Amino acid sequence: MGIELTSVKVNVKGKLDLKGLFGLNEPVPSGCKSIRFEALIESPANEESIRTLVETVEAHCPVMDTLIRPMSISGVAKLMVIKFSPPLLYLKNNDAIARTATVVRLTYVAVDI
């Protein structure tokens, strides 16, 4: 759009009831009841240009779209646990008598919970 911006700062506030967040009252939702933002724009451009910019940004903003549009959400929780691998025997020159070393490997694996 070719509009020069000196500075843009966005302040966002959400209202929520802590009773829902901490599970103290089951019917109370744990998330925000409302979200409000304030965009502070510094620019040498005129107000009409900035107004047009704001309207365009709000119409195409992925964050705003995500917040106002119903959508499905899915995910999975995984517990990271230590898995011990069986000891490995390393042979030098394929000779079991000549220098051997035993190594135990530790790896983390994700386990569905």
pLDDT value at residue 101 = 55
Can you tell me the distance from the alpha carbon of 33 to that of 8, in angstroms, rounded to the nearest whole number? 26
Can you tell me the distance from the alpha carbon of 89 to that of 97, in angstroms, rounded to the nearest whole number? 12
Condensed to tens digits (0 to 9), the pLDDT of residues 4-20 reads 999 999 999 999 999 99
CB 63 within 8 A of CB 47: no
Q: Which residues of the chain have pLDDT under 50?
A: 98
What topology does CATH give the domain 7-68? GMP Synthetase; Chain A, domain 3 (3.30.300)
pLDDT value at residue 106 = 74
Can you tell me the distance from the alpha carbon of 7 to that of 40, in angstroms, rounded to the nearest whole number? 8
For the chain, what are the domain ranges? 7-68, 78-112
pLDDT value at residue 23 = 92
At residue 81, the 3 state secondary structure works out as strand
pLDDT value at residue 90 = 56
Condensed to tens digits (0 to 9), the pLDDT of residues 97-107 reads 545 555 667 77
